Amino acid sequence: MKAIRIHQNGGPEVLRFEDLPDPAPGKGEALVAVEAAGVNFIEVYHRTGLYKTALPLTVGQEGAGTVLAAGDGVRDVRAGQRVAWYGPFGAYATRALVPADRLVPVPDGVSSKQAAAVMLQGMTAHYLARSTYPLKAGDVCIVHAAAGGVGLLLTQIAARIVGATVLGTAGGEAKTRLAREAGAARAVDYTKEDFVAAAKELTGGRGVQVAYDSVGRTTFDGSLASLAPRGMLVTFGQSSGPVPPFDLLRLSQGGSLYLTRPTLGHYVATREDLLWRASEVLGWVKDGTLHVRIDREVPLADAAAAHRALEARETSGKVLLIP
């Protein structure tokens, strides 16, 4: 089999296309022929060492394909079944060993590429809108990076499924147009406009109920300033860099605000939660409620090019690696 491995932390050049022995599933595992692997910013953090992992590492935590074989004790999936997953490392490969209880069935009418494109980002958008701050009709929210992979999905869920009002931020005319097409009532080009002023204008000066912020350092202060009293800032990424330490008194001074830093793993820790989130997201994709934008498909061997594009913010939607 072929796989993308890292032996040391660093830039995209440390991603190496290697031959590995063909694996066999152990107890509780399934061997999957990978048809598409999702590329996510978390893999940049793994590659650079911002998020520490044991090395060497086969990169990637999201994929879809067909089960080739199942190990002893596996009852959740069977050979020949189309499946998708998020969580275990090893998706940047032609074959992946995945704990069977982390695999979810892909329904007919949803392609493997769509499934791989929506597992991490779709379930992230799902927990943000359904659980971390459960949006309801009439709420106003900020979605930063609204033309990105999570942003486009979160904007659709918030605006079209829940009925909330979305202020989306993005960089440039093309990306703000995508945010509006996804359902944003107002799309702000952060390179030219003040999103705090836009949030106050949109809410009659009160502020938004929640700001979903995957950008980090450059948007954190503005996100706090955009909140209504008792509003919530959900920071779930740091594409512009980590947020510096700050004085917690700012939360009370801003209106008894809430701040949380969630991660998907805690929201799909049980198989019940995993199946609930994945089945809703994949169901929305199947019936056309949720549109998955695939920005580009990159050959597995060119994983470094995919990482460069992601880090340069050249993408709008999902980047896939195709073995």
> Cα(57)–Cα(42) distance, rounded to whole angstroms?
14
What is the pLDDT at residue 190? 87
**Phi/psi zone of residue 216: left (φ > 0), alpha (ψ -120 to 50 degrees), beta?**
left
Whether cis (ω within 30° of 0) applies to the bond prior to 25 is no
User: Which runs of consecutive H residues, i.e. helices, occur in 77-172?
Assistant: 112-127, 149-156
Q: Residue 239: its pLDDT value, please?
A: 80
pLDDT at 242: 86
| Residue recorded with tokens 């809108």 | 129
> Domains plus CATH for the chain?
2-119+268-322 (3.90.180.10), 137-261 (3.40.50.720)
The alpha carbon torsion through 271, 273, 274, 280 (nearest 10 deg) reads 140
Q: What is the predicted pLDDT for the residue at 136? A: 97
What is the pLDDT, as a whole number, of residue 268? 96
Q: Which of 192, 195, 144 is nearest to 170 (CA)?
A: 144
* pLDDT per residue as tens, the chain (323 positions): 999 999 999 999 999 999 999 999 999 999 999 999 999 988 999 999 989 999 999 999 999 999 999 999 999 899 999 999 999 999 999 999 999 999 999 999 999 999 999 999 999 999 999 999 999 999 999 999 999 889 999 999 999 999 999 999 999 999 999 999 999 999 999 889 999 999 999 999 999 999 999 998 999 999 999 999 999 999 998 888 889 999 999 999 999 999 999 999 999 999 999 999 999 999 999 999 999 989 999 999 999 999 999 998 888 779 999 99
